């Protein structure tokens, strides 16, 4: 299976299946000397692990990370960092029935068409558990960014019809509400809505917003590796993400140019902008403003309602999906969006190091 490697300079290669022995990632390109411990990675894995609220799958997994290589005396050595999380709560029998038919909204049919064979236990590589490797690798990227004064924060903007009120924005609530909303009042409304979905044996989608602060101007390449294009690929590679926006996003199609353009102004001796419709990116290159992106997540396809589908014999049937599933994916995907954003930024910042001769001189001139 190709396509399990992300990045060019700071790379991750993920491996493992939902019901295999474990899930993991190999991170390559991390510079030597970064302080790193299991706690740095575990913090982010704890945010995505299952069983933390009634709105998440009841599958109980500790998701404890093991560092297998690349660390010595608490610091990165510059060699590949291998991370492993073992699966401990597989119930593959829950999925034996679906080997014979295709679940609506899942990758069952497309996997069979591509490979002629699939791991039907929880979806294999198409399972949400695949994101463990992304989050583990992203945790290292997030720590690198912190060393550079850059922060990345994602949160739930909306679930179903319920959206946050920015006047009530409280960053602490992201980690305390079961919805990962930074607005406790909106979270209560969203929780009530999810209760209705669950009573109806159904699920909900939502929107995740992510803000990166402190990214300097000049990051990103002007043609195929535009910063917004790379962020889009990174976030759209997350399962269940069906749309992506930067800045004002789709609403720019209804604006006029004078309204959409961000005026440049001098403030505190530096160039900045009066507004940020661009979402911090112009011409594919960061402009020094906050980078703002959004991921639109579809409703969880595994629902307990009876649905029409087709079996492998080509017969029309009805099916009710069994197993342990999230009524909403959004809260557990928040940290995955953070991770993929961080991985993209680190990779392009490393590429940017060779954009100007003065950058190379800073590294090598004193040693020549």
**How does pLDDT run across 282-304, given as a tens digit for each residue?**
999 999 999 999 999 999 998 88
* 246-263 average pLDDT score: 97
Q: Beta strands of the chain (E only): which ranges? A: 5-6, 11-16, 22-28, 65-67, 71-72, 75-76, 81-86, 151-159, 162-163, 206-213, 241-246, 264-267, 270-273, 281-282, 285-286, 291-297, 307-310, 316-319
State pLDDT tens for residues 204-213: 999 999 999 9
* Paired strand residues for 158: 163, 207
What whole-number distance in Å separates Cα of residue 276 and Cα of residue 226? 18
> What is the reported pTM?
0.93
Cβ-Cβ contacts under 8 Å for 111 (sequence gap 6 or more): 118, 124, 126
State pLDDT tens for residues 306-341: 899 999 889 999 988 876 677 899 999 999 999 999
State pLDDT tens for residues 6-27: 999 999 999 998 888 899 999 9
| 3-class secondary-structure state, position 191 | helix
In this prediction, residue 92 carries a pLDDT of 55
Q: Does residue 272 carry a pLDDT above 70?
A: yes
State pLDDT tens for residues 48-105: 876 566 666 655 668 899 999 999 999 999 999 999 999 886 555 656 777 888 889 8
In this prediction, residue 241 carries a pLDDT of 97
């Amino acid at each position: 299976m190709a396509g399990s490697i992300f990045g060019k300079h700071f790379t991750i290669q993920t491996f493992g299946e939902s019901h295999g022995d474990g899930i993991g990632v190999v991170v390559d390109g991390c510079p030597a000397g970064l302080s790193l411990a299991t706690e740095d990675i575990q913090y982010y894995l704890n945010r995505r692990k299952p069983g933390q609220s009634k709105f998440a799958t009841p599958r109980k997994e500790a998701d404890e990370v093991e560092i297998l290589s690349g660390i010595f005396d608490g610091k990165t050595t510059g060699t590949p960092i291998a991370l492993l999380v073992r699966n401990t709560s597989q119930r593959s029998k829950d999925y034996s029935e679906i080997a014979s038919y295709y679940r609506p909204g899942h990758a069952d049919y497309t996997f069979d068409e591509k490979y002629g064979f699939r791991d039907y236990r929880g979806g294999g590589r198409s399972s949400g558990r695949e994101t463990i490797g992304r989050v583990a690798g992203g945790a290292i990227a997030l720590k690198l960014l912190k060393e550079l004064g850059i922060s990345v924060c994602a949160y739930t903007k909306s679930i179903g019809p319920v959206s946050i009120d920015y006047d009530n924005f409280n960053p602490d609530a992201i980690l305390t509400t079961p919805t990962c909303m930074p607005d406790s009042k909106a979270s209560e409304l969203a929780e009530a809505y999810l209760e209705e979905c669950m009573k109806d044996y159904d699920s909900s989608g939502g929107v995740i917003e992510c803000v990166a602060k402190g990214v300097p101007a000049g990051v990103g390449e002007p043609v195929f590796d535009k910063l917004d294009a790379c962020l889009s690929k990174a976030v759209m590679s997350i399962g269940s993400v069906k749309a992506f926006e930067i800045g004002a996003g789709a609403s720019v199609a209804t604006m006029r140019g004078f309204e959409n353009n961000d005026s440049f102004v001098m403030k505190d001796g530096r160039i900045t902008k009066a507004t940020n419709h661009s979402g911090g990116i112009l011409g594919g290159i960061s402009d020094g403003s906050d980078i703002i992106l959004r991921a639109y997540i579809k409703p969880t396809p595994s629902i307990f309602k009876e649905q029409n589908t087709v079996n492998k014999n080509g017969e029309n049937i009805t099916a009710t999906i069994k197993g342990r599933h999230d009524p909403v994916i959004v809260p557990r995907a928040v940290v995955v969006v953070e991770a993929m954003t961080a991985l993209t930024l680190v990779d392009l910042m490393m590429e940017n190091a060779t954009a100007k001769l003065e950058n190379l001189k800073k590294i090598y001139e004193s040693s020549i």
